Structure 1
């Protein structure tokens, strides 16, 4: 018969291997790579279609103005009014995300915004245009800050720059492919089934959001603990890293989000940077006015700045995490964007010169905005993150409304984009300066 010692030896569980520091780091990197492949790739696709549905109005403008007689002021108000409801519902949406879970709430957002984007094809009057854009803003409210909040629950600040830039690379990538796609739809579908080309644009580019929303219900886990594709050890590692990182945050409670001067400074920076989205709404028509008449060619021209922006934001995201430096990685691209906008008025009659100046402006703005989000996600955690991230993003949406509306009014009043471009340049330069006022100890880690 086996001895007691032999029985204990046979039934004992082997101790886990002892890993040295390099092995632990490699194992941890493998876990985060697994999470990134699973989550960020899917959220990237969702955000790409969200941004496409938000800006395709810039391409549709060409046909809508001709068919419906909309002025620059009507279009500017319609493009901007999206951000009014978006602003009002950002914080409530994030609170509802906390209550119902990321999976169900993000799915709801995507399905409703896809349906409303498609509903824009029925617009006939300025009032209808305003109503649909207002409802679209309400539907999409909470998606971006919700994802930012979701990422803080999976990644510590030391790893967040790369994943945020990967996620936000959806903006330029959406424009890279969305520009040529929109131009092709406008040229190829006009008159099919009795619909104008701009109506087909809303229909074709709104459907993927609905399908992705339905997929979200089965694909996206609410928390680390709900991820069936992680084992117990991987879940524990991720939870420990997030819990340890939360101790470095500046604001933890809901009321801290509104009392902290840093949060208000962050809100202003977001406001200043988001004013630059106005350029995305007007670039197709600016290029057309400058002399380029082919809508497909305009689409390819508009995609060029976003190719460079994608490369730039991914490279700077990696260097920001490697160095731990956050402020200059956002401020410097912002100053570059302001310089490009300041030069644009002298290029409005030459499509190639306009393309060069707008490439500098758009590329810098996209990169600055992407790297900026390392700042609020570093200083906010727990309840303050739920409300604070939504508030910061909501405050920025005021610029999303005011900037296109003001730009359109100035364009109509003066007959030129010059004054509007100068105001945008000044706004982004102020935002970039404000980034450098952020305290180093709060964000550089």
Structure 2
């Protein structure tokens, strides 16, 4: 019987597997578990938007205090982004992925113990700290397997976790809050944090069993398949920066950081306030708010994958990255104009979310076109700093403007403006980094 990396005489006589066939196998093995983990990570990050529907009155929080608390996650997240790249190098991808998941699951569960504004702030900050190393570790893990020209499609699959976090998590969160309220002396939002935090802890241990730090340790690949993966990676690695410090001198890396900030102000400002915006459209239960909030993300899930696939088919990247986020900004303006017509407002929000999500998947294939090796995780952390700052700024601005004006209109208009600016900066990315993928 042949060992995993050894070919039998019969298999040696057969034609070598194609690169596409090998990468289908790699994708089926690598992506689903990471997607599931990222789903619960995103859910544990944003379910506070649904908890707000109950916990604000329980904790006597103001609109501005909620916005700051929601955003404090990203301050903790921000502090460890670049150090997370070095942590990945020091302890390995496997330890960072599994350890981060277990830690943030515990903190998410602990959020049920929130008693006042101070503990709310502290736990949101701590949640950001514990989740900080996960995404850079994911980028480093994917860079072990996928050349950059395959990465936009892979990232579109990963980022399905974000719309799914609302499609599934929204109705689930609303249902948990309605169904469990008062059980064992706990409010519905407390039960929600408990039930939705537990899977992250379990999945952390699963990652320790499944993830490898080197592709040579992947015993589920044959020797020929492993050779194909190594060949695909070696073909483009010579043109990339391998160490982080030299990569910091690359202006395009800082341009990507600015783009990440601008479109994520729109993204996170919208996601943390979507339940509140939907609630303002009519008298709905928490479950119904979750269902309506899921509609835009259901459409976005399809739009993300279709946009990435069409980019590969047409071999065009720039407009597939810039145009969706511009459309998203225009649709946000439309949602404000249609605020008196709930169906039209939800339709505009749907287009806005689809645009933002479609750009997200395309954008995160770009850092890997510049960076490899140690720089891949650290550079991803640097670009993600833009997203982390935006995650604090977006919800906070929405909270302040909501408290000052009594509506979300001014805040939504501001979010749209940041999306327009993001689209313009995407068009400024040098052609060598956004050129079409090879066939």
TM-score range, shorter chain: over 0.9
Instruction: Evaluate the alpha carbon distance shift between residue 118 and residue 100 of structure 1 in structure 2; reply closer, same or farther with a 3 A threshold.
Output: same
Q: Deviations over 1:237-260 (max 9, x none)?
A: 2112112121233x3332232211
Instruction: Evaluate the alpha carbon distance shift between residue 135 and residue 13 of structure 1 in structure 2; reply closer, same or farther with a 3 A threshold.
Output: closer
Equivalences for 1:24-103 in 2 at 5 Å?
Answer: 27-103=18-94
The equivalent position to 2:353 in structure 1, one of 352, 362, 387, is: 362
The equivalent position to 1:294 in structure 2, one of 276, 285, 304, is: 285
What number of residue pairs does the alignment pair up? 428
Instruction: Evaluate the alpha carbon distance shift between residue 13 and residue 192 of structure 1 in structure 2; reply closer, same or farther with a 3 A threshold.
Output: closer
Shift of 1:91: 1.3
Q: Deviations over 1:9-64 (max 9, x none)?
A: xxx97894485xxxx6x622221111111110110000000000011000000001
- Aligned Cα root-mean-square deviation (Å): 1.7
Partner of 1:267: 257
Q: Which runs of 5+ in 1 are unaligned?
A: 1-11
Q: Is the 8 A contact 1:257 1:387 kept in 2?
A: no
Partner of 2:156: 165
Q: Distance in 1 between matches of 2:416 and 2:194?
A: 34
1:281 paired to 2:272: yes
1:327 paired to 2:325: no
Q: Distance in 2 between matches of 1:83 and 1:165?
A: 23
Shift of 1:348: 3.2
Equivalences for 1:4-43 in 2 at 5 Å?
Answer: 16-17=12-13, 19=15, 27-43=18-34
Q: Is the 8 A contact 1:379 1:443 kept in 2?
A: no
Q: Distance in 1 between matches of 2:9 and 2:33?
A: 38
Q: Is the 8 A contact 2:317 2:434 kept in 1?
A: yes
Q: Distance in 2 between matches of 1:235 and 1:269?
A: 36
Partner of 1:303: 294
- Largest Rg, 1 or 2: 1
The equivalent position to 1:255 in structure 2, one of 228, 245, 253, is: 245
Partner of 1:7: none
The equivalent position to 1:396 in structure 2, one of 387, 396, 406, is: 387
Q: Distance in 2 between matches of 1:282 and 1:386?
A: 30
Is the partner of 1:348 in helix, strand or coil? coil
Q: Distance in 2 between matches of 1:427 and 1:205?
A: 32
Length-normalised TM-score, structure 2: 0.94
Partner of 1:123: 114
1:140 paired to 2:141: no
Shift of 1:157: 1.7
Q: Is the 8 A contact 2:53 2:286 kept in 1?
A: no
Shift of 1:280: 1.1
Instruction: Evaluate the alpha carbon distance shift between residue 13 and residue 281 of structure 1 in structure 2; reply closer, same or farther with a 3 A threshold.
Output: closer
Q: Is the 8 A contact 1:85 1:137 kept in 2?
A: yes
1:380 paired to 2:371: yes
The equivalent position to 1:184 in structure 2, one of 175, 178, 196, is: 175
Q: Distance in 1 between matches of 2:49 and 2:290?
A: 11
